[in-house]
Amino acid sequence: MTKELIIRIHNMYLRDCFMAWFDVGLLWAIVLFVLYSILGIVQDPDIRFTLCVASAFLLLFNSASVFAMTRHFGEDKDFIYGLDIKHLDVNRAAKIKSRP
């Protein structure tokens, strides 16, 4: 594997990790905002408790799944991103070749 390919794979992996964790952060912000807004309306303590627990489970499981996904991508990034880069390069070459 060439040094250029290793750098491209690593850059794709970092970009995917950044976007995945950015999305998780955005989800946290949205869920907490909605929860805060709804708790001001809901008066029943049982429903408030259920909303808090459901929000916590949503955030916990989503964060854990993104953690597992990025860890798996890190372990197999040569295979995963190597295929992506190969297909991107083939498509780019075909596009260049088809130009008049």
CA distance 30 to 48: 17
CA distance 19 to 99: 33
pLDDT for the residue numbered 97: 86
pLDDT for the residue numbered 98: 86
CA distances from 52 to 7, 12, 30, 58, 96 (A): 43, 36, 14, 10, 54
At 20-43, the pLDDT tens digits run 999 999 999 999 999 999 999 999
pLDDT for the residue numbered 25: 98
Regions of the chain with pLDDT less than 70: none
Residue 3: alpha-carbon gap to chain centroid:
26
pLDDT for the residue numbered 99: 81
pLDDT for the residue numbered 61: 98
Q: Report pTM.
A: 0.80
